[in-house]
């Protein structure tokens, strides 16, 4: 069985980002982006998605975290795209509802080959610690554009912004895991009536 792993390095004048992942892992994470709350969220993807994930980033954090968060999303998306290969035999679609105390989020993934993002989270405050919640949108846009996937995110309820974000990322990990799973009933099939993704 082919290993579904990838390592991607992205170097710009603003950031240097390295992502290694194994879609068939155990949820191990080594994260050092320089943005602690982003590391905490990426850990949710790894653990709940059973993706072994190593991400290291150095960016222009003396300006702000925008470039780092966006470029981590881009590089993670590129690694997902490479690890998925031709996408034959995968389930393609994945979804998850995840609560965290009063917060409940739903995430739906389609490894469609087409970038698309519907992000519907109204955070109850603008910052979680030092983290600007606007940057989640930059992360998700980078992810979907470079993984060529469709992603729907809905926070159905929540009063605590940390809980809102964490329930989203837990659900994202679970949805990615489901969508990337090999389908034992169609192990060689392209999951599309077009014959390609």
For 176, phi then psi, to 5°, come to -60, -45
Separation CA 172–CA 159 (nearest Å): 20
Quick one: pLDDT at residue 46?
98
| pLDDT over 70 (residue 135) | yes
Compute the mean pLDDT over every residue in the chain, rounded to the nearest whole number.
Answer: 97
Separation CA 152–CA 57 (nearest Å): 26
Please tell me the CATH superfamily of domain 5-180, with its number: Imidazole glycerol phosphate dehydratase; domain 1 (3.30.230.40)
Quick one: pLDDT at residue 188?
87
Q: What is the mean pLDDT of residues 77-97?
A: 97
The model's pTM is: 0.96
Give tens-digit pLDDT for 30-54. Answer: 999 999 999 999 999 999 999 999 9
Q: What is the mean pLDDT of residues 183-195?
A: 87
Q: What is the mean pLDDT of residues 164-188?
A: 96
In the chain, where the domains are located: 5-180
């Amino acid at each position: 069985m082919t290993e579904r792993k990838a390592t991607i390095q992205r170097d710009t004048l603003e950031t240097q980002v390295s992502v290694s992942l194994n879609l068939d892992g155990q949820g191990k994470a080594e994260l050092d982006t320089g943005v602690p709350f982003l590391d905490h969220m990426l850990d949710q993807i790894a653990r709940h998605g059973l993706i072994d994930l190593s991400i290291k980033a150095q960016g222009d954090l003396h300006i702000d975290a925008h470039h780092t968060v966006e470029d981590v999303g881009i590089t993670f998306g590129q690694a997902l795209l490479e690890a998925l290969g031709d996408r034959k035999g995968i389930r393609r679609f994945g979804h998850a509802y995840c609560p965290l105390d009063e917060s409940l989020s739903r995430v739906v993934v389609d490894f469609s080959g087409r970038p698309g993002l519907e992000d519907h989270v109204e955070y109850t405050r603008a910052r979680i610690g030092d983290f600007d919640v606007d940057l989640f949108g930059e992360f998700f846009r980078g992810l979907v554009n470079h993984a060529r996937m469709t992603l729907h995110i809905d926070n159905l309820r929540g009063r605590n912004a940390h809980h809102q974000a964490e329930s989203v990322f837990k659900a994202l990990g679970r949805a990615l895991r489901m969508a990337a799973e090999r389908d034992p009933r169609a192990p060689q099939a392209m999951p599309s009536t077009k014959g390609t993704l």
